[in-house]
Amino acid sequence: MANLSHSIEELKATIASLNSTIDSLKAENEYLKNNNELLREENAYLKRKLFGTKSEKIAHSMDQLSLFDETENECEPELLEDISYTRAKKKQKGKIDIKLDNLKHVKKVYDIDEKDRVCDECGSKLSYVGEEFVRHEVVYEPAKLYVKDIYRKTYECRNCRKKGKAVMLKAGTPQPVVPHSYTSPSVLSQVIIDKYVNHMPLYRQESEWKRLGMELSRTTMANWIIIAAKEYFIPLVNRMHELMMKESHIHCDETPVQVLNEPGKKATSKSYMWVYSSIKESKQPVKIFDYRPDRKATNPQEFLKGFDGTIITDGYYGYNHIDGVTNAYCWAHARRKFYDALPVDMKNASDTLANTAVEKIARLFAIEKQIETLSPDKKVKVRQEKSKPLVDDFFSWCKDNQNKVLTASKTGKAIQYALNYEAGLRSFLEDGLVPMTNSLDERTIRPFTVGRKNWLFSTSTKGAEASAAVFSLIETAKSNKLNPYDYIEFIMDYLPQQDLVEDPERLDWFLPWSEEIKEEFEIKAD
């Protein structure tokens, strides 16, 4: 009996050990299964990123009602009363659709030689009847350079000279834009516009200037830009910064930039260009680029010190701990995370949670498109009546489904992202000046990212700071309907002649929305 009892105990222990092994294998199998699913999802995501469409629009069949049409058809009729637009007529093939009114027109009339003005039938002399318009041709005149040799006249008092006194008077000349250099406002403006608007690196500009007859090295051009930024652009940007802090809403974003010779950092490490923009409703549109060596939260905290309004961001944690600031988050970023979770084969996406979320968010964007031109107060009213129920439904749906997917999956991360930032994503419902997305700042930063693909990096921190100042003025000029070249040339033509130490308020004359600028460029206030 003792041996039997002992055998039973050994058998129980063996069974327990086998059960434990089975449980362990089940857990391991579940882990491998989940991990395999995550890898498959990541592989599909990367394939779509590499080979698929970059658009986040969701295709729908012709027999399926569009989400945008659905909103338009189902909303209250009064919402559409103030919204009107005309669909552009379909272009006719072969029709030239180029606006030429802003170009100088030179009339060229082709005539018949006098000896040929004879009738082929009877030999009589032909009489002039009139002329007819045939076509337009745009003519390109290559740029030309010339050297302006500056002299000044000198006068003296001959009467005082007879008495042994030297009294002389010399004509005044304007201060150079860069002391001890041969550049002019027009040349330096072209260098700046080619680099920061046309995205032409300085080494490529060298050959262009050589073609025009001038040997101009990239080092010289870089030095000019840095000096002009230090003397003229940065003071203007600092003043724009002061005025921006008085705004009620600010868009915030950031993007990496590589700086080769940055103290204490490897050449391959990332630095950042931060971008801050006033909202489109602002009476004084401002775009400010702020170069910083890292992505620390202290950067926006320092820049936004004294600001007590609302910032519109992408959810980066660096914006979350700024005293006195309300954070509104971007619905486009929330949608993008769900879009990234869609399967490669979009035909099979309709039954996925990710597709359901994208469609729910699309309904919100449809309403925003309809009320785009309404006043802030009317926007809030519509959002409370139409958008709030959809937002409530979306977050309720997120809570119901957060445990139905793997936490580490793209859909799981997208749901958790939306829930984590729910308060900020709801901000637009209460404030008509808060847009649903941070797209305006992303559009502001795009010229910088396009240029970065061409010039790849900044050589020094001074160069990066100069680039930030130049981008700030160029993008702000565009926002205020100014031609960037004309505006930059105007600054460098007239600002060197001002004594800002004695009269610092004169700096305001050169802000893109100033009355002086409006008068100079004949811009009428809206």
Classify residue 139: in a domain, yes or no. no
Reported confidence tier of residue 58, pLDDT bands at 50, 70, 90: low
Residue 162: the pLDDT is: 87
Looking at residue 81, what is its pLDDT?
A: 45
- pLDDT score of 67 more than 90: no
Q: Give mean pLDDT, residues 95-119.
A: 82
With b for 16 or more beta-carbon neighbours within 10 A and e for fewer, the 105-141 pattern comes to eeeeeeeeeeeeeeeeeeeeeeeeeeeeeeeeeeeee
Minimum mean pLDDT range among 70-84, 278-292, 358-372, 413-427: 70-84
Tell me: pLDDT of 381 over 90.
yes
Provide the domain limits for residue 261. 249-454
Two tokens, residue 370: 């309809």
- Mean pLDDT, to the nearest integer, of 301-327? 90
Element of type H or E holding 155 = strand 154-156
CA 525 to chain CA centroid, nearest Å: 24
Residue 369 domain-assigned (yes or no): yes
pLDDT score of 47: 61
Q: What is the pTM of this model?
A: 0.76
**pLDDT higher than 70, residue 484:** yes
CA 405 to chain centre: 35
Q: Give the tens place of pLDDT for each residue, 35-46.
A: 666 666 666 666
> What whole-number distance in Å separates Cα of residue 97 and Cα of residue 209?
33
Query: Quick one: pLDDT at residue 61?
Result: 39
Q: Quote the pLDDT of residue 79.
A: 39
Quick one: CA dihedral 318, 320, 323, 329, positive or negative? positive
- How many beta carbons lie within 10 A of that of residue 412, not counting itself? 19
Question: For residue 365, is it within any domain?
Answer: yes
DSSP-H helix ranges across 67-117: 67-74
The rounded distance, in Å, linking the Cα atoms of 441 and 249 is 12
Higher pLDDT among residues 238 and 85, named by residue:
238
Has residue 298 been placed in a domain? Answer: yes
Q: What is the 8-class DSSP label of residue 57?
A: P
Please report, as a single letter, which amino acid is at residue 345. D
Question: Residue 448 — very low, low, confident or very high, per pLDDT cuts 50/70/90?
Answer: low
Q: Is the pLDDT of residue 453 over 60?
A: no
What would the 3-class secondary structure string for 374-405 be? CCHHHHHHHHHHHHHHHHHHHHHHHHHHCCCC
Q: Is residue 268 part of a domain?
A: yes
- Is the Cβ–Cβ distance between 259 and 467 less than 8 Å? no
Axis-axis angle for helices 202-211, 185-196 (nearest 10): 130
The pLDDT value recorded for residue 66 is 38
pLDDT of residue 428: 93
Report d(CA 82, CA 378) in Å as an integer: 11
24 against 426, higher pLDDT: 426
Average pLDDT of the residues of the chain: 82
Give residue 429's identity as a one-letter amino acid code.
Answer: L
- Give per-residue pLDDT as tens, 143-176: 889 999 999 999 999 999 888 899 899 998 999 9
* Residue 513 predicted with pLDDT over 60: yes
Count of structural domains within the chain: 1
The pLDDT-based confidence of 240 (bands split at 50, 70, 90) is very high
Express each pLDDT in 335-380 by its tens digit. 999 988 887 765 566 678 888 999 999 999 999 999 988 999 999 9
Asked whether the predicted pLDDT for residue 84 surpasses 60, the reply is: no
425 band by pLDDT with thresholds 50, 70 and 90: very high
| Per-residue model confidence (pLDDT) at position 524 | 43
Residue 314: closest CA among 417, 223, 404, 243: 417
Q: In the predicted model, what is the mean pLDDT of residues 285-291?
A: 94
Which residue bears the tokens 């009320």? 371
247 Cβ contact list (under 8 Å, min separation 6): 278, 279, 282, 286, 307, 309
Question: Do the Cβ atoms of 376 and 281 come closer than 8 Å?
Answer: yes
SS3 state of residue 170: strand
**Residue 377 in domain:** yes
Residue 77 belongs to a domain: no
Residue 144 belongs to some domain of the structure? no
Burial degree of 416 (CB within 10 A; 0-12, 13-18, 19+): middle
Q: Name the 3-class secondary structure at 444.
A: helix
